[in-house]
Amino acid sequence: MSEQLPGDVERLRELLREYIAEREHTEDMLRESEERYRSLIDRAFYGIYRSSPDGRFLEVNPALVKMLGYDSADDLMSIDIMRDVYVDATDRATFVAAAERGDPLPDWVQTRWFRKDRIPITVRVSARPRYDRRGKIEYFEGIVEDVTERQRQEEMLRRSERMAGLGTTLAGVAHELNNPLTAVIGFAQILMRGAREEDDRVGLETIHREATRAARIVKDLLTFTRRQEGARSERVDLNSIVEYILSTRRYALETSGVRCILHLDPQLPAVAGDPSQLEQVLLNLLVNAEHALTEALDSPVSANPEGTPRGAIGISTETDGAMVTLQLSDTGCGIPTEHLSRIWDPFWTTKVEGEG
């Protein structure tokens, strides 16, 4: 028996060496697998995370850190998800409650998140719970896609389609109006040459002036639809346009108790544009501000942006050498949040008929 002992020990040593070698190989394979997994996560375009049920990030990949504007993964993992990430915290609370009840979960959920700078973004989230041995949620694993830009482009496409339809309608209406307006203007000019009575001449001048104005509106509609070529563009002095439009509204502003504060850059260079359209834009903004301030002056409290006195309109021009800026601000009530998405829709207004 003593003669077999050295051989048994040697076989035991050999088995031990094989076991250690196999374990080391397994650990190497596991380490390589983890490295490949980590590399895949770190290089992913989508945000990937693991979070606790109480609302803390446990792991995050670089894409999610960048998406939410944080300096590092540690910074992101130190925040409260409900408070600092979700625009509407009930979105997460509803999802967690459904997971705890064992309800079927949607593949993707679209919601709004805050970046670190509090700028909201639209995201699509796909998350699933992972349970411990007792059947309780241990953590969530999720994938996040920022769809803010895609949503913006889709909205631009929808708006472009609406504009195309509107343009076709406007072009047809403008064409139908052009011919009779041309006739009215022409015959008014002929009759004005032979008019002897002052009252007749004044009436004909009014017809000619208003028909010409209507024709100009029709031309602007055609320009707006981009169906007519040759929209005017010339060198324009913005300061002169501001002063002219302000002179046309000075009496109305003074009688309504609204002050106008000008800061016009005397070194402002000329810009390329259509003077009549620039005048119309500025006039519309000025009238809107005047109407808003008429209401604000009756209110006991009103906001004063950038130090502008209460009941005042501020108009400024400036240049940085490469760009010219015209800015108009007022101390009115502002635009309600629910209307912001429609401010670029053509001809949309909240005013009653006859007020613009």
CATH number of the domain at 44-146, please? 3.30.450.20
Each residue's pLDDT tens digit, 249-306: 888 888 888 889 999 999 999 999 888 888 888 988 998 888 888 765 555 444 444 4
Tokens for 292?
A: 């808003």
Q: Pick from 109, 88, 84: which is nearest to 99 by CA?
A: 109
Q: Domain locations in the chain?
A: 44-146, 152-225, 234-342
How would DSSP label each residue in 180-229? HHHHHHHHHHHHHHH--SHHHHHHHHHHHHHHHHHHHHHHHHHHHHT-SS
CB 268 within 8 A of CB 239: yes
Cα separation, 356 vs 346, whole angstroms: 13
pLDDT score, position 81: 97
Each residue's pLDDT tens digit, 96-118: 999 999 999 999 999 999 999 99
Confidence check: pLDDT of 74 > 50: yes
Min mean pLDDT across 17-26, 67-76, 85-94 is at 17-26
Q: Which CATH number fits domain 152-225: 2.20.25, 1.10.10, 1.10.287, 3.30.870?
A: 1.10.287
Give the CATH class of 234-342: alpha beta
Confidence check: pLDDT of 65 > 80: yes
One fold for 152-225 and 234-342: no
How would DSSP label each residue in 323-342? -EEEEEEE-S----GGGGGG
pLDDT score, position 301: 44
Counting beta carbons within 10 angstroms of the beta carbon of residue 313, is it exposed (0 to 12), middle (13 to 18) or buried (19 or more)?
Answer: buried
What's the pLDDT band for 336 if we cut at 50, 70, 90? confident
Confidence check: pLDDT of 4 > 80: no
Confidence check: pLDDT of 123 > 90: yes
* pTM score: 0.51
pLDDT score, position 304: 46
